[in-house]
Amino acid sequence: MQTHKTEAGFTLIELMIVIAIIGILAAIAIPQYEKYIATTKAQDVAQNAHQAVTAVVSAVAAAQAGQTTQLVTTGTVTGALGNQNDPADTAVPAYIDGSSTTDCGQIAVSPDPITPASVGSGTNNQTQIVINDADCTSATLQSDVAAAVSAEGYGPSFGAAGSNITIYVTGNGQISPS
């Protein structure tokens, strides 16, 4: 009588089923992870925008009292907003001086520094804060930045992604749009 020795192990079908299950799980998990990362970056950009608005309002009040406030870090002078990197593009600074930005999530403040002469009186002189959501690497990040800044309460016009978001602080401290 002949005996057959059976070998222990997995069949090709069993291995293919396991690989298919791993592929399905990865197809679900990877986009969710990417969405989570984009949402987190967008919330950080919105928080930076909120800090910029708060700093500008404070600088306007200080300018009305005769003081000058440097907001953006330039050279060796650290501005009131600090010198952290942009959460959406960590290779560039979060805050820059000027009226236009070049990278997704960057926030430009103009004029800087804020002086008694730049504020003036009333609503004629304005400080402009521009949040860039036009140059984002993904449409998800772009729309998340627009939604997160809108959620901070800076007006109903902030819902469309793909155009820079502009906030004005007037010489008497009013924020528009609000």
Q: Region 167-175: what's the mean pLDDT?
A: 85
pLDDT in tens, 15-48: 999 999 999 999 999 999 999 998 999 999 999 9
DSSP secondary structure letters along the chain? ---PPPPPS--HHHHHHHHHHHHHHHHHHHHHHHHHHHHHHHHHHHHHHHHHHHHHHHHHHHHHTT--B--S-BTTBPPTT--PBPSSSTTSBSEEESS---STT-EEEESSSB-HHHH-STTSSEEEEEE--SS-SSHHHHHHHHHHHHHTTS-TTTT-TTS-EEEEEETTS-EE--
pLDDT in tens, 50-105: 999 999 999 999 998 899 999 998 888 888 998 899 998 888 889 988 877 778 88
Q: Region 103-114: what's the mean pLDDT?
A: 88
pLDDT of 166 strictly over 90: no
Q: Write down the pTM of the prediction.
A: 0.80
pLDDT, residue 155, reads: 54
Domain boundaries along the sequence of the chain: 12-177
